[in-house]
């Protein structure tokens, strides 16, 4: 089973761009669909984006569609989330997730408890 480690979070101002990355190790990452979730302060963890095993299809929450881009590099065992035009409501702990069985899709918004592998999370703070 793979292990996931996020990196790249931090403090940015509204309207700015930030990328977070997730590095996988210990398994065949290309066999896992992958995605990103976030947990705003005091709220539940929610779906942000997902990508299929081969990277050909992507899925986004309505709140980030058109601003965020998920991508993966299976040769480097990484999945990335580029976040443009950041808003204060994008603030939260961002978690990388992966699963060897569930196909990537917006259904991950309700399948969160079934996803097998999670990173430890990284803080993104969008504030003036």
Predicted pLDDT of residue 1: 86
Q: Is the dihedral of CA 94, 99, 104, 110 positive or negative?
A: negative
| Paired residues of 98 in beta bridges | 34, 117
Mean pLDDT taken over the chain: 97
pLDDT in tens, the chain (128 residues): 899 999 999 999 999 999 999 999 998 999 999 999 999 999 999 999 999 999 999 999 999 999 999 999 999 999 999 999 999 999 999 999 999 999 999 999 999 999 999 999 999 999 99
> For residues 14 and 102, what is the distance between their CA atoms, to the nearest angstrom?
34
């Amino acid at each position: 089973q793979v292990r996931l480690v996020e990196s790249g979070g931090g403090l940015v101002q509204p309207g700015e761009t930030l990328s977070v990355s997730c590095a996988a190790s210990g398994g065949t990452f290309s066999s896992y669909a992958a995605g990103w979730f976030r947990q705003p302060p005091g709220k539940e963890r929610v779906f942000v984006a997902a990508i299929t095993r081969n990277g050909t299809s992507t899925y986004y929450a309505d709140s980030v569609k058109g601003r965020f881009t998920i991508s993966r590099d299976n040769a480097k065992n990484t999945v990335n989330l580029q976040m443009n035009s950041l808003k204060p409501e994008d603030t939260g702990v961002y978690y990388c997730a992966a699963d060897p069985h569930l196909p990537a899709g917006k259904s991950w918004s309700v399948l969160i408890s079934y996803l097998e592998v999670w990173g430890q999370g990284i803080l993104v703070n969008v504030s003036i």
